[in-house]
């Protein structure tokens, strides 16, 4: 397995309420807007996002 390990942060999963999630950011919109933060639950693997301001 040559995948790069993702950092873990404290974030509450909306599906199972676990408090640890992997996270990464992606610039999905214009450059003058905040990046989109993606989270993946370490327990149930549910993925969700948070749009930056």
Domain range summary for the chain, segments of one domain joined by +: 8-51
Q: Which of 1, 2, 32, 37 is catalytic?
A: 32
CA angle 25, 29, 35 (to 5 degrees): 25
Q: Is 32 one of the annotated active-site residues of the chain?
A: yes
* pLDDT tens sequence across 19-48: 999 999 988 767 677 889 999 999 999 999
Q: Which of 1, 2, 20, 33 is catalytic?
A: 33
Q: What per-residue confidence (pLDDT) applies to 44? A: 98
Architecture of domain 8-51: Single Sheet (2.20)
Cα 3 from chain centre: 17
Please tell me the pTM assigned to this model.
Answer: 0.78
Cα 46 from chain centre: 10
């Amino acid at each position: 397995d040559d995948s790069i390990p993702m950092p873990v942060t404290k974030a509450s999963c909306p599906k199972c309420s676990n408090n640890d999630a992997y996270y990464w950011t992606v610039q999905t919109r214009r450059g003058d807007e905040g990046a989109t933060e993606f989270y993946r639950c370490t327990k149930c693997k549910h993925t969700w996002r948070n749009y930056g301001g």
